[in-house]
Amino acid sequence: MNFQYLDAALRSNLEKAKNAYEAAFVRQEKVKDAFSVVIIGQQNNGKSTLCNALFRDWENRKFPVADRRLTSSTQEEQDEASGILYVDTPGFSSATATDDETAQTEWIRANLLIFVHSIRTGELDADEVRILQKLKSVVPDVERRLFVACSKAGGEKSEDLRLKLDLIRAQIRDHVGLDVTMEAIDSIFYQKGMEKGNEQLVASTNFPKILAWIAAGRHMPSSLEAFVQQAGKEYNRLLVQARENLEVGMSGFSSRRETYKNALSARWANQKPSVRGAWDRCAQYV
């Protein structure tokens, strides 16, 4: 189809939809065999520590941890035993809020997403709410893919903890419109509990619940699959619209051609027969 005669706005939308679809498709081909759990959240909230804990390999920590902003680019490691690809993303803040576009490509590749919030800071702040709202608008089926892990909860009084969790749950329901799976966790206590073989401590960190949630979500297709379908539908819708627009344009062109031909015929109708014969022969090509 030749789009050069299309309306400029439609042509630009079509171009964008085509690029979005093709990019998602290529990305899906690349990651389709790996089941990925993508960890997101604000800086210093314990994303990398959580990744290490999910790996249960504290001797050779795969994900570097520090008390300052550390992870500045996405790092992914595959757990050989389970085949799960854990994806640690750079923490966001108001200053990095413009990186949203880059972050979104990670969100939509995920089979499951863990949003890490530090319970020590109390409720979610405006940036965290905004990121959750964005997640909801970008990731298909987000409620089933998302786990909110309230980290650094070890040592909190259980009364305070319950109060904070209730507030955060209400915040997410009221400001984001999601009813999410959420637990208070502690990756450091989990490590201690595992190393000492202390089952009670391990249970108190809620890691068994995260692990069970991941295991239960192993059937979830990557968001990319749904995203490719959605992008494909939009591209197709615009293609149909473009074709209709072009057909309307072409029928206008045909009727102008007909009028022109009739005008010429009328002009030649009164000419000498020899000239008319020549016209009749030519007319079939007009």
Ligand X SMILES: Nc1nc2c(ncn2[C@@H]2O[C@H](COP(=O)(O)OP(=O)(O)OP(=O)(O)O)[C@@H](O)[C@H]2O)c(=O)[nH]1
101 binds ligand X per the rule CB under 6 A = no
Distance, in Å, from the CA atom of 151 to the CA atom of 115, rounded to the nearest integer, reads 10
Q: Which is nearer to ligand X, 97 or 286 (CB)?
A: 97
Q: Contacting Mg ion (CB under 5 A), which of 52, 71, 111, 205?
A: 71
Q: What 3-state DSSP class applies to 187?
A: helix
Residue 87's DSSP bridge partners are 38, 76
Does 67 help bind ligand X (rule: CB under 6 A)?
Answer: yes
* Amino acid letter, residue 177: G
Binding characters for ligand X, 181-220, by CB under 6 A (x = yes): -----xxx--------------------------------
DSSP code of residue 252: H
> Which of 38, 47, 214, 227 lies at the binding interface for ligand X (CB under 6 A)?
47
Q: Pairing state of beta strands 181-184 and 146-151?
A: parallel
Give the nearer residue to ligand X in terms of CB position, either 158 or 271. Answer: 158
Between CA 42 and CA 122 the distance in angstroms is 13
From the CB of 31, what's the least distance to Mg ion, in Å? 21
27 versus 61: smaller Cβ distance to Mg ion? 61
Q: What is the closest distance, in whole angstroms, from the C-beta atom of residue 54 to Mg ion in the complex?
A: 13
Q: How far is CA 67 from CA 63, 115, 122, 150, in A?
A: 13, 19, 19, 18
DSSP string, 51-73: HHHHHT--TT-SS---SSS---S
Measured CA to CA, the distance from residue 41 to residue 182 in angstroms comes to: 14
Q: Which does 151 bind (CB under 5 to 8 A by kind): Mg ion, ligand X, none?
A: ligand X
Indicate which single residue of 48, 118, 151, 222 sits in contact with Mg ion (rule: CB under 5 A): 48
45 belongs to the binding site for ligand X (CB under 6 A): yes
| Site for ligand X, rule CB under 6 A | 43-49, 65-67, 69-71, 91, 151-152, 154, 186-188
